[in-house]
Amino acid sequence: MSNPLGLRRMTAALASLAVIAVSATSGLAQEPMPPDAHYTAQNATEPRAADATAVASAWVTPLVLDFGPVGVGFTSAVQTVSITNTGTTTLTNFAGGAPLDTQFLASQNCAGGVAPGASCKYFFSFKPTAVGTFTTTSNSSTNAGNIVITLRGTGVGAGLHVTPLSFDFHRVVSGTTSPNQIATIRNTGATTLTNFAGGAPFDTQFGASQNCAGGVAPGASCQYFFNFSPKSTGPISTTSNSSTNAGPFVIALQGEGLPGPSVPLTNDKWVTPLFLDFGPVGIGITSPPQTVTITNTGSSVLGSFAGGAPFDPQFSATQNCAGGVAPGASCRYVFRFTPTAAGTFTTTSNSSSSAGPIVITLRGTGVGASFYASPLSLDFGYVPVGSTSPPQVVIITNTSPTTLTNFAGGAPFDPQFGATQNCAGGVPPGGSCRYTFTFKPNALGRVTSSSNSSTNGGPLVIQLAGGVAPPTISMDFSPASVEVGKVTTLRYTITNTNAALAATGVGLNNALPAGLKVASPSGAIASPECNSPTINATPGGGNIVIADGAITGGKVCVITVQVKPEAAGDLVNAVAVSSVNGGTGNTATATLVVRYRVKLPIVVRQT
């Protein structure tokens, strides 16, 4: 695969885990989904004894989906969760699954049941109705156990970038109208920029129109058009104040009314605009240029230009004015913004000329790298010892205007999980890369680990799990204290702690302590949750052997056998439980207190 994940072990590839959604039969629409290459686990069905009763079992992956930033009112791309039947009977009885938060949507194609070895899917999407980060779960049940999928997404509103923020119309004869000057309003958010209100300059000698009222799509722009029609003489200034669903903005306007045509001054200039905003720009990225026009409104050559370099070196400037500007002609200052850090920065460009000083205000916002990754939790289910699972994939998407880079770490802490990636070269804005994981167990049992990476956009943690947890057992005698020769019940309580994966081939071999034998009759009974195990408990024998049990995810199997002590004392019984697909579980102990029955003579006193 591409570059190894920076650290030790990285195995082969793991299956293409599309991340997408849960729903279930309670009110969720079934939706046929496009085919993909998701692993169907045809050869990963868990081993179990041939004569055991058929049992339902489900492998569910992934378990945590993140939809990242989504515009309010917009719907994300679909992410998928695959449910594979690893049991020996139809996976059915799907119920529930609708996310608790209705901003998350779900459908599924599981309701008709899933044959052994086959798969179905839950499909999720996110349609935020408000700004903020939201987390919820999709909880469903099946005949194999419960399925819980965690869902996360961030609602993003509109963003607002306006430039220029100050215009000068210079000298205009009263009763005439200047040419338009244009402000550009750009939507830097993820939902439509709308609800434009206001904007008319307070002084009606300035006119305004706009093409923004219909709303501005994410990444698009609209314009405000301003002109100046003085009805009085002298300097005039005002503002245009607007509001939007992304907040307000103010544009400053100034000009001078003249009573009529006048003789030009010897040294005069007109500079506009006076305030440029570069908006959000990725760290290390250079913004598009913005221009200030300097027009010679005097009668002599405009020259002697000096200075002009912005005080903050994150802003750069060039110009074509140095050779001088003839009367009536123009030159330009061109500015750019290349942020070196995150934050909003403001500076000025101060220059001088033969017609006086020129001061331009500059502002820009540096934006660091950011990303989202999905899925965030992978489960590889049962994989035979020594075999390598198909790969599962995590997609890392750059949601910022700067390159996502500096990937380090990522190798799972447990070397039974392998990892590779193609992110080391960096991810451009809007691009994505992949981490690919596999699982190669060296022993039976449930294995959990994580892949921890760092980037210039922050840390990334992927949870990994594989295998089947072995069953757990507890044991007791009832009653726990008896006389020699009296029968008591030995009870084994065996629990499958897996949520939906069945424990198959469940069994134990209990060598009873000396002095304790199987009673006659043995009265051996297994609850239905045990799925008809074989119980070998010969009356008078000192061993109890249980085999070929199968327990559905989350269920508890209870087996009882009658036993009888032959000697007094504290008889300590110990036994371990195991399953074919999960290995050996814990060891349980129970103590039976056995006493002889003491018969005391009855003494009758004569009085």
**pLDDT one-digit tens code per residue, 385-424:** 999 999 999 999 999 999 999 999 999 999 999 999 999 9
Q: Which residue has the higher pLDDT, 499 or 28?
A: 499
Cα 464 to Cα 84, 411, 443: the distances in Å are 18, 11, 16
300 with 446, same domain: the answer is no
Is residue 425 in some structural domain? yes
231 with 319, same domain: the answer is yes
From 305, 332, 367, give the residue that closes a domain.
367
What pLDDT band is residue 602 in, cutting at 50, 70 and 90? low
**Is the CB of residue 401 less than 8 Å from the CB of residue 282?**
yes
Task: Report the C-alpha dihedral over residues 36, 42, 48, 50, rounded to 10 degrees.
Answer: 140
Number of domains in the chain: 4
Q: Are strands 377-379 and 458-466 parallel, antiparallel or unpaired?
A: parallel
What pLDDT band is residue 261 in, cutting at 50, 70 and 90? confident
174 with 304, same domain: the answer is yes
Is residue 601 in some structural domain? no
Provide DSSP, 467-513: S-PPPEEEEEEESSEEETT--EEEEEEEE--SSSPPEEEEEEEEEPP
Q: Is the pLDDT of residue 246 over 60?
A: yes
Is residue 202 in some structural domain? yes
482 with 388, same domain: the answer is no
Distance CA 484, CA 445 (A): 41
Cα 245 to Cα 76, 132, 153, 193: the distances in Å are 21, 15, 21, 6
CATH number of the domain that residue 569 is part of: 2.60.40.680
Is residue 602 in some structural domain? no
Is residue 600 in some structural domain? no
**Cis omega (within 30 of 0) for bond into 62:** yes
What pLDDT band is residue 263 in, cutting at 50, 70 and 90? confident
Tell me the pLDDT tens digit for each residue of 520-565: 999 999 999 999 999 999 999 999 999 999 999 999 999 999 999 9
Helix H or strand E encompassing 369: none
Distance CA 370, CA 516 (A): 67
Residues in the chain: 607
295 with 398, same domain: the answer is no
205 with 320, same domain: the answer is yes
420 with 547, same domain: the answer is no
What pLDDT band is residue 607 in, cutting at 50, 70 and 90? low
Range of the domain at 391: 1-17+375-467
What pLDDT band is residue 365 in, cutting at 50, 70 and 90? very high
63 with 204, same domain: the answer is no
Distance CA 433, CA 371 (A): 11
SS3 168: strand
Q: What is the largest CA-CA distance in the chain?
A: 152
From 467, 490, 515, give the residue that closes a domain.
467
Q: Are strands 160-163 and 181-187 parallel, antiparallel or unpaired?
A: antiparallel
12 with 23, same domain: the answer is no
Distance CA 246, CA 234 (A): 36
Is residue 606 in some structural domain? no
From 127, 156, 185, give the residue that closes a domain.
156
48 with 109, same domain: the answer is yes
Distance CA 321, CA 289 (A): 17
Per-residue pLDDT averaged across 556-575, rounded?
Answer: 97
**Is the CB of residue 465 less than 8 Å from the CB of residue 59?**
no
Q: Is the pLDDT of residue 262 over 60?
A: yes
Task: Report the C-alpha dihedral over residues 17, 21, 22, 28, rounded to 10 degrees.
Answer: -150
Give me 389's structure tokens.
């699972």
Question: ∠125-93-465 over CA atoms, to 5°?
Answer: 60
Q: How far is CA 310 from the centre of its chain?
A: 41
Is residue 607 in some structural domain? no
Q: Using alpha carbons only, how large is the chain's radius of gyration in Å?
A: 38
**What is the pLDDT of the chain when averaged over all its residues?**
91
Amino acid letter for position 132: G
What pLDDT band is residue 6 in, cutting at 50, 70 and 90? very low
335 with 187, same domain: the answer is yes
7 with 51, same domain: the answer is no
CATH number of the domain that residue 151 is part of: 2.60.40.10
Is residue 605 in some structural domain? no
